[in-house]
Chain A
Amino acid sequence: MKPASTAAFCFRLLRRQLVLGLRRPVELGNPLLFFAMVVALFPLGLGPAPDTLASFAPGILWIVALLSNLLTSDAVFRSDLEDGSLEQLLLAPQPLYLAALSYVFAQWLLTGFLLGLASPVFALMLGLAPAAIPALAASLLLGTAVLSLVGGIGAALTVGLKRGGMLISLLILPFYMPVLIFGSGAVQAALNGNPTGPFLAILAAFLCLSIALAPMAIAAGLRISIDT
């Protein structure tokens, strides 16, 4: 018998990760709950004046999405390392590049994708103009995918460390900045009535670049982390 074909293997990994996520519905809701709570902090800190909130809304929503993604990135590989699945994954004959991509894709579907879909609700809470909401959702869907890929690199590099939680934010937050700039830029442009296409195109370009390169770095990081 031959090992599973690469496509079948990736599909199997994706399915496994999704089932694992869906069997813990509460944990699935946690990033969304975090998002809602932090959004609720801003009116308390900045004052409830609708004008102020609306003008800060693009930045606030994007920063909160970024933080929520950061918090979930840490866990992508951790449970697999703890129960020994990760070392089995590294021994698989299929390319680790695609396996890493499957893991990150599953993580994005369970966090960034849901966040993008739920973001219009939070946007309305902050008084963002309805015209900017499609741009917000689209930029979040594209941008969080980049964030998940980059976050995966940090997760892979720190998964073997006992106290990786704080470190991962130090490592990858600088890499999040371009996504933040163009993501909130897209929403801002929509608010000002400018075309959002260029911003989304740049985010899509970031996504292509990170799909091409990030899994390589994740694979290298995992090989280092498993080598204790």
Chain B
Amino acid sequence: MWTLFHKFGSPPWLYRLSGAILRWLLPITLLALVAGAVWGLLFTPPDFRQGNSYRIIYIHVPAAVVALAGYYVMAIAGAVSLIWRMKMADIAMRACAPIGAALTFVALVTGSIWGKPTWGTWWVWDARITSMLILFFLYLGVVALYEAYENKALAAKACAVLSLVGTVNIPIIYKSVDWWYSLHQPASIKFTGGSTIDPSMLYPLLFMISAFYCLFVCALLLNMRVEILEREQRTAWVRALATERGGS
């Protein structure tokens, strides 16, 4: 267990491992995303109330789910970085923020596009959309804080503290927004009633959610590889790699 833990702290080992994982995970992920999209777009029946516009669910919900999970991944990496002072946890945390922000952005934009045919307006202060918007702000806050620090080792620690504070706060924010929405809005335009979804619509959704999780892992590893190289650029193994790969 501890040897594995220490191995994760070793940049060249992680760099090679991530390369090996990406070699097969990246094609599988892309294939799964395409397959899931085709399944959702072409092989599921339309919703009896919303017609075909509900097909946006196959990207909206997975993006939202993974964006939220990504915040917790970031916070866990932050906690590891603060407690064990592991350099690789810093790097993982740093890599999470832009990916999470991108996925939150997708969830917001697709939610907004979905809102137009459903509610007749591009933006509704619906509890979920509002919560997503706040999550987007939280991610951007981490990115902004990281960029503001000149010393990147300290930047990572500061972001770790911020993301841990966010972890405590996110459930509170979500519950508050939920409650706020139910107070101000009669529950008439509630949709995607969670458990009542038909299996023929649910399976492609679950499939897409797993594909988005794989996408998150791929993007995380890709971003971490760049950060590893930039931080370790004075070490012998990166220089050897650069002469070998970038020499031509």
Inter-subunit contact A181/B162 (CB<8 Å) = no
Inter-subunit contact B180/A171 (CB<8 Å) = no
Q: Which residues of A contact B233 (CB under 8 A)?
A: none
Most chain B Cβ neighbours within 10 Å, of A158, A170, A182, A225:
A170
Q: How far is the CA of A174 from the CA of B137 in the complex (A)?
A: 7
The interface bits of chain B over 153-188 (1 if a CB of A lies within 8 angstroms of the residue's CB, else 0) are 010011001101110110011011101100100000
Inter-subunit contact A227/B176 (CB<8 Å) = no
Q: Which residues of A contact B149 (CB under 8 A)?
A: 161
Inter-subunit contact A173/B137 (CB<8 Å) = yes
Q: Which residues of A contact B206 (CB under 8 A)?
A: none
Inter-subunit contact A228/B151 (CB<8 Å) = yes
Inter-subunit contact B183/A224 (CB<8 Å) = no
Size class of the B contact interface (CB-based, 8 Å) = 20 to 34
| Cβ of B145 under 8 Å from chain A | yes
Q: How far is the CA of A170 from the CA of B157 in the complex (A)?
A: 18
Q: Of the 9-residue stretches A16-24, A73-81, A213-221, which lies at the interface with chain B?
A: A213-221
Of all chain A residues, the one with the shortest Cβ separation from B130 is A177
Nearest chain B CB to A145's CB is how many angstroms away? 16
Nearest chain A CB to B179's CB is how many angstroms away? 7
Nearest chain A CB to B19's CB is how many angstroms away? 33
Inter-subunit contact A167/B144 (CB<8 Å) = yes
Q: Which one of B141, B157, B164 contacts A174 once the chains associate, using CB atoms below 8 Å?
A: B141
Inter-subunit contact A171/B164 (CB<8 Å) = no
Q: Which residues of B contact A171 (CB under 8 A)?
A: 141, 144-145, 162
Q: How far is the CA of A106 from the CA of B158 in the complex (A)?
A: 24
Inter-subunit contact B154/A224 (CB<8 Å) = yes
Q: Which one of B134, B158, B166, B177 contacts A224 once the chains associate, using CB atoms below 8 Å?
A: B158
Q: Which residues of B contact A228 (CB under 8 A)?
A: 151, 154
Q: How far is the CA of A55 from the CA of B82 in the complex (A)?
A: 47
Inter-subunit contact B173/A170 (CB<8 Å) = no
Q: Which one of A167, A174, A209, A220 contacts B161 once the chains associate, using CB atoms below 8 Å?
A: A220
Q: Which one of B138, B154, B169, B172 contacts A227 once the chains associate, using CB atoms below 8 Å?
A: B154
Q: Which one of A167, A174, A181 contacts B179 once the chains associate, using CB atoms below 8 Å?
A: A181
Nearest chain B CB to A213's CB is how many angstroms away? 6
Inter-subunit contact A174/B145 (CB<8 Å) = no
Q: Which residues of A contact B151 (CB under 8 A)?
A: 228
| Cβ of B140 under 8 Å from chain A | yes
| Cβ of A2 under 8 Å from chain B | no
Inter-subunit contact A174/B138 (CB<8 Å) = yes
Count of A residues near B, CB < 8 Å? Answer: 27
Interface of B is mostly: helix
Q: How far is the CA of A228 from the CA of B154 in the complex (A)?
A: 8
Given A177-B173, A178-B176 in contact, is the A217-B164 Cβ separation under 8 Å? yes
Most chain A Cβ neighbours within 10 Å, of B82, B161, B165:
B165
Inter-subunit contact B165/A175 (CB<8 Å) = yes
| Cβ of B1 under 8 Å from chain A | no
Q: Which residues of A contact B172 (CB under 8 A)?
A: 178, 206
Q: Which residues of A contact B169 (CB under 8 A)?
A: 174-175, 178
| Cβ of B148 under 8 Å from chain A | yes
Of all chain A residues, the one with the shortest Cβ separation from B159 is A157
Q: Which residues of A contact B162 (CB under 8 A)?
A: 153, 157, 171
Of all chain B residues, the one with the shortest Cβ separation from A214 is B165
Q: Which residues of A contact B164 (CB under 8 A)?
A: 217
Q: Which residues of B contact A153 (CB under 8 A)?
A: 161-162, 165
Q: How far is the CA of A171 from the CA of B158 in the complex (A)?
A: 11
Most chain B Cβ neighbours within 10 Å, of A158, A177, A185, A225:
A177
Since A157-B162, A217-B164 are in contact, a sample of 20 more A-B pairs with Cβ atoms closer than 8 Å, ordered by chain A residue number, is A158-B148, A163-B148, A170-B140, A171-B141, A171-B144, A171-B145, A174-B134, A174-B137, A174-B169, A175-B166, A175-B173, A177-B134, A177-B176, A178-B173, A178-B175, A178-B176, A220-B82, A221-B158, A221-B161, A228-B151
Provide a sorted-by-A list of 11 A–B residue pairs whose CB atoms are within 8 angstroms.
A153-B162, A157-B158, A164-B148, A170-B144, A171-B144, A178-B173, A178-B175, A181-B177, A206-B172, A224-B161, A225-B158
Residues of chain A whose beta carbon lies under 8 Å from any beta carbon of chain B: 153, 157-158, 161, 163-164, 167, 170-171, 173-175, 177-178, 181-182, 185, 206, 209, 213, 217, 220-221, 224-225, 227-228
